[in-house]
């Protein structure tokens, strides 16, 4: 008897291989359910090296294994996170290799605004715990940036408001990096734009901006959700260029507002925070110049008054020699009387001594005394002349030392010093004011260079309908007469002039340069 024969004849159950039964189950589940919408809580989330996302959808009683293929995961506007309440759309299928059924998710979104706010609060706490919101890490905004980079949509009112406000306050060069400001591509493009601006070389062919503005108009929380993504917040926090966030209206707050260096309530306010008012700067410079000139004038006047006061306190040169002259006259008047009195006293003493002497002795003594007297007289005369000469020389020296010439020389030196100091201060003030005016004139010439007249000089033209600028083909068709303005004149053209199609805007993700 063959053991392989049917050991239980009479039974009619169908026999399947493992592959056949797995295929039958797969066809049954896919045919029975097709596309389904399932609401649940996200459990375990795993991103494989291939880019596929594996996750669980669960409630309080069951768990459904799910998968999001790599291509579909890249298009998701909201990335699934553990604990998030979501609504998933896709189809049910099986995975024969593990004998389980699973859901292939094609679309997933939070289950209402509450789920979005819960996820936002969770991300906010995570980033705050890492210190990305700390005021100490925020960079100061430059007072007058040369180049401003703007990350926003190239179409719409936001970029026009920013450019218009910059032109009114202080014209600056503007680099625009066009991005999608809502939808699936928003977060990736904004992140790439911030990182792209930071990767530019300062002073290169496309220069690196000194300030970044990330801007978008108002909208719902779903519209603004791209700016709540973690990759956008981390790119803004890692930016080496100071960044101003201007997303939504004043009441709208996103994660990029917390990590940016400054938050503006609106895009127009961001432009106002980026640059000062040029006319106010000019008025301030003029005010400083006037104050400096007034200070220099006051200082010179005070020095002149001080010099006049010191001059009045000095005595006149005649007064300096009056006492010396008076003493000289007194001494000179006494000299003659003293000489005569001395000679008379000597003569009287001689006569008294000679009276008792005999004539011969007296004669001899007289001769000796006469000789001595003659000698003494001669010496006395010479001595008196020398003494008088010395006295006169001494008086002349005293007189020369007491005249006012030396004082006048010192006074003249002080005046020269004061004059040189005043001249140097005046020149320094004038030079500083001239430098400020030169800088302002350079900025004014730059403004004129960036105006539309300079654009005409480069070969462009402006189309006018009377005193209005024609910017599109619709207005041109309605105009009765058209004029084309070149750099030197306007030329009228016919109403049926051929219209040139409007050039296509730049592709999203590519920077373009506007000289505002």
Q: What is the 3-state secondary structure (H, E, C) of 318-363?
A: HHHHHHHHHHHHHHHHHHHHHHHHHHHHHHHHHHHHHCCCCHHHHH
In this prediction, residue 374 carries a pLDDT of: 79
User: How far from the centroid of its chain's Cα atoms is residue 170's Cα?
Assistant: 14
Radius of gyration over every alpha carbon of the chain, rounded to an integer in angstroms: 54
What is the distance between the alpha carbons of residues 139 and 346, in angstroms, rounded to a whole number?
110
In this prediction, residue 196 carries a pLDDT of: 93
In this prediction, residue 358 carries a pLDDT of: 61
In this prediction, residue 212 carries a pLDDT of: 94
**What is each CA distance from 47 to 44, 84, 94, 151, 239, in whole angstroms?**
10, 16, 20, 30, 27
What is the distance between the alpha carbons of residues 359 and 366, in angstroms, rounded to a whole number?
9
What is the distance between the alpha carbons of residues 111 and 85, in angstroms, rounded to a whole number?
6
Element containing residue 66 per DSSP (H, E): strand 63-68
Is 331:418 a contact under the CB 8 Å cutoff?
Answer: no
Is 479:469 a contact under the CB 8 Å cutoff?
Answer: no
String of b and e for 280-313 (b: at least 16 CB within 10 Å)? ebeeeeeeebeebeeebeeebeeeeeeeeeeeee
The two beta strands, 53-58 and 462-465, are unpaired
User: How far from the centroid of its chain's Cα atoms is residue 262's Cα?
Assistant: 14
In this prediction, residue 7 carries a pLDDT of: 54
In this prediction, residue 98 carries a pLDDT of: 79
Claim: this prediction has a pTM higher than 0.85: no
Which of 159, 172, 196, 148 has its CA nearest to residue 511? 196
- CA dihedral over 58, 59, 60, 62, signed as positive or negative: negative
Segments of 111-242 assigned E as strands: 147-152, 173-178, 211-216
Element containing residue 53 per DSSP (H, E): strand 53-58
Place of tokens 């001899």: 364
Which of 130, 153, 121, 84 has its CA nearest to residue 228? 121
Question: Where do runs of H (alpha helix) occur along 275-316?
Answer: 278-313
Tokens of 152: 């926003």
Which of 120, 151, 128, 80 has its CA nearest to residue 221? 120
- CA dihedral over 494, 500, 505, 511, signed as positive or negative: negative
Question: pLDDT truncated to tens, each residue of the chain (516 aa)?
Answer: 444 455 555 567 788 888 888 888 888 887 888 788 888 888 888 888 888 899 888 887 888 889 998 888 888 777 788 777 888 888 888 888 878 888 899 888 777 656 677 777 888 888 888 888 898 999 999 999 999 999 999 888 899 999 999 998 999 999 999 999 888 788 889 999 999 999 998 888 888 999 999 999 887 777 888 888 888 999 999 999 999 999 988 787 888 899 999 999 999 999 999 999 888 888 889 889 989 999 999 999 999 888 888 877 777 777 777 778 778 878 888 888 888 888 888 888 887 776 666 666 667 777 787 788 778 888 888 888 888 888 888 887 766 665 566 667 778 888 888 888 888 888 888 888 888 888 888 887 777 776 677 777 777 888 888 878 888 888 888 887 888 888 788 888 864 444 444 445 545 444 444 444
């Amino acid at each position: 008897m063959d053991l392989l024969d049917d050991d239980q004849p009479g039974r009619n159950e169908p026999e399947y291989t493992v592959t056949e039964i797995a295929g039958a189950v797969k066809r049954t589940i896919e045919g029975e359910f097709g596309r389904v919408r399932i609401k649940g809580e996200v459990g375990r989330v795993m991103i494989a090296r291939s880019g596929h996302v594996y996750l669980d959808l669960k409630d309080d009683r069951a768990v459904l294994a799910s998968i999001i293929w790599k291509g579909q995961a890249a298009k998701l506007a909201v990335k699934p996170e553990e604990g998030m309440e979501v609504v998933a759309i896709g189809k049910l299928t099986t995975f024969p290799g593990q004998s389980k059924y699973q859901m292939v998710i094609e679309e997933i979104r939070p289950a209402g605004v509450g789920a979005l706010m819960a996820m936002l609060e969770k991300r906010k706490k995570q980033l705050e715990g890492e210190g990305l919101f700390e005021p100490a890490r925020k960079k100061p905004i430059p007072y007058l940036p040369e180049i401003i980079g703007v990350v926003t949509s190239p179409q719409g009112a936001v970029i026009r408001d920013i450019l218009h406000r910059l032109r009114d306050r202080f014209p600056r060069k503007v680099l625009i990096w066009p991005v999608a400001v809502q939808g699936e591509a928003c977060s990736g493009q904004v992140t790439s734009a911030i990182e792209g601006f930071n990767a530019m070389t300062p002073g290169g062919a496309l220069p690196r901006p000194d300030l970044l503005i990330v801007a978008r108009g108002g909208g719902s929380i779903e519209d603004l959700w791209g700016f709540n993504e973690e990759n956008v917040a981390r790119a803004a926090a890692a930016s080496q260029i100071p960044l101003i966030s201007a997303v939504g209206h004043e009441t709208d707050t996103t994660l990029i507002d917390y990590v940016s260096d400054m938050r503006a309530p609106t895009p127009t306010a961001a432009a106002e925070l980026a640059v000062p008012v040029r006319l106010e700067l000019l008025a301030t410079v003029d005010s400083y110049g006037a104050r400096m000139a007034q200070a220099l004038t006051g200082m010179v006047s005070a020095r002149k008054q001080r010099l006049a006061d010191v001059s009045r306190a000095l005595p006149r040169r005649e007064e300096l020699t009056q006492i010396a002259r008076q003493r000289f006259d007194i001494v000179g008047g006494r000299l003659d009387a003293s000489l005569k009195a001395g000679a008379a006293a000597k003569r009287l003493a001689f006569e008294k001594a000679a009276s008792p002497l005999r004539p011969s002795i007296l004669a001899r003594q007289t001769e000796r005394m006469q000789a001595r007297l003659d000698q003494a007289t001669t010496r006395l005369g010479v001595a008196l002349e020398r003494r008088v000469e010395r006295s006169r020389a001494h008086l002349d020296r005293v007189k020369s030392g007491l005249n006012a010439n030396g004082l006048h020389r010192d006074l003249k030196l002080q005046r020269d010093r004061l004059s040189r100091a005043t001249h140097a201060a005046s020149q320094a003030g004038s030079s500083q004011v001239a430098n400020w005016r030169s800088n302002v004139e350079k900025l004014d010439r730059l403004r004129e260079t960036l105006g539309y007249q300079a654009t005409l000089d480069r070969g462009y033209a402006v189309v006018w309908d009377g005193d209005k600028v024609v910017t599109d083909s619709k207005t041109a068709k309605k105009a009765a007469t058209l004029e084309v303005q070149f750099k030197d004149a306007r030329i009228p053209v016919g109403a049926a002039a051929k219209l040139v199609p409007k050039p296509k805007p730049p592709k999203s993700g590519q920077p373009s340069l506007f000289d505002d």
